[in-house]
Chains A and B, each alone.
Chain A
Amino acid sequence: MNLLATLATLLPTLASYRPLLDPLPVDRHWPWLLLPLAVLIAIAYKAIKVSDLAEMKRQVTVLSVQIVVGMVLAAAALWALVAAI
């Protein structure tokens, strides 16, 4: 499991981490931060835009997936462009 391997390498470095005073040591694991970023953007955006809050869960899920898929596709397209040049 990639996530478990990430956590296993991250936990020892977290021992010396002082929240807010030190930056989080995520240099090698930064792509995982895109997941909470996508979900929080979706929550904030849909909380403003959705007229009936009963639809929030479905709308947030759909937008989160769209953002993540969009970022993956954009990354793939840029990688292909760089590789082709």
Chain B
Amino acid sequence: MPQPPSTRWHPVAAIAAWLAPGLGHVLLGQPRRGGLIAIGVGGMWILGLLVGGLSVIDRHEHWLWFLGQMLLAPSLIVEYIAAYLGNAGLLTASFGRPAEHGLLLTTLAGMLNLMAMLDALHRDPAERRHRPEAGAEPEAQAS
């Protein structure tokens, strides 16, 4: 008799996914999926910072983009660091194509991380197993 899909929600995993991309799925026992999410979302976020510089995360200058960027918690830390470095005169302001791409990449990373957070919130941890062959005994469900 096939088991019905789990309807449990995992708010801790969703919060973990916000703190670090992929961490929510690692907590759900899916480290490979979590690693791939970390590569995709984290790689996009880091690439955005490398292209546009830390100044692309600025809640005052780019407040609309910041709504997407803050869907990844490290953006909040980077915004604080960027403000400090900007006041110290160590940060070069970003304009033109680098700024556009930096904003696009970091905001897209945040929006994709929202997908990962929602997925971690209601994902069935047992889904990582392959479906059993017809007639075979189903594997024990993870708690």
Contact = CB atoms under 8 A, between A and B. Distances in A.
B50 A44 contact: no
State the main secondary structure of chain A at its contact with B.
Answer: helix
B40 A20 contact: no
Contact of B52 (A18, A23, A27, A41): A23
Interface in B50-95: 50-55, 85, 90-92, 94-95
Contact of A41 (B112, B116, B130): B112
Interface residues of A, number: 27
Interface stretch (A4-12, A50-58, A69-77): A50-58
A24 interface: yes
B98 to A, nearest CB: 4
Chain B interface residue bracket vs A: 35 or more
Contacts of A53: 32-33, 36
A45 B33 CA distance: 11
Contacts of B94: 23
B128 to A, nearest CB: 8
Given A48-B119, A52-B130, A23 B37 contact: no
A25 to B, nearest CB: 7
B44 A41 contact: yes
B44 A26 contact: no
Given A22-B92, A23-B92, A40-B47, A30 B36 contact: no
Interface of A: 18-27, 30, 33, 36-37, 40-48, 51-53, 56
Interface of B: 32-33, 36-37, 39-41, 43-44, 47, 49-55, 85, 90-92, 94-102, 104-105, 108-109, 112, 115-116, 119, 127, 130
